[in-house]
Structures are given as structure tokens and as C-alpha cells.
Structure 1
């Protein structure tokens, strides 16, 4: 019996929970920045991004 697209999507999500969560968070953060963020939000996010970039740089 062939799977429907919804069933295939669910199967993929179940197998890839960590990556699916990553994609969801990335999408949500981009939408927030594009549609809702205030100037103060953007300043805070810039600081957080700079801090995170430094952390990643230390790991590599």
C-alpha cells in the first residue's frame, strides 16, 4: 500500500526529530525578524548573534 504525502511527511519528521526542530526554530526566528521585531529586539538579537558566533568560533 502506497503512503500518502502526509504519511511520508510524518514518517520523515519522526525519523528526523532533531533536524525538524532545528528547521522549525529557524523558520520561526526568521519570521519574527521579518514581520514583528522592533528596533530594540533587533539590537538584542544582534548582540546574541555576536555572542553565539564567538562561541562557535571557539568550538571550531
Structure 2
């Protein structure tokens, strides 16, 4: 059981870190999709996206 103080602290963190929370949620969703739902074709596409993203990050 979560105490009221912990709930308030969690809500405060969520409110003050909206971008980080969104990033973490999207990362979790992507990981879950890859590990539990992705087909072989999906994984091939994802590998291409990862290569593209790495190239983009290297050029910055």
C-alpha cells in the first residue's frame, strides 16, 4: 500500500518532470512491443530505424 505522502511525492515528480515521464513511457512502450508483440518483419523494420537513428546521432 502506498502512503498519501508517497502519492503526493510521485504526483509532484510527475508534474515537474513531464518530458522525462513521457520519454520513459514511450521507451517502455517500445520495449514492450519489441519483446512481446513484434513480428519478424517488424523487427527488420525496427533494425533499419535504429541504424538510421544512430547515423543521425553521430552526425550531430
Answer whether TM exceeds 0.5 for this pair.
yes
What pairs up with 1:1-60 in 2 under 5 angstroms?
Answer: 4-59=5-60
Query: What is the TM-score normalised by the length of structure 2?
Result: 0.89
TM-score in terms of structure 1 length: 0.89
For structure 2, list consecutive stretches of 5 or more residues without a partner in the other structure. none
Runs of 4+ in structure 1 deviating by more than 3 angstroms, as ranges, are none
Q: In 1, distance between residues paired with 2:53 and 2:7?
A: 36
Q: Give RMSD over aligned pairs.
A: 0.9
Structure 1 unaligned blocks of 5 or more:
none
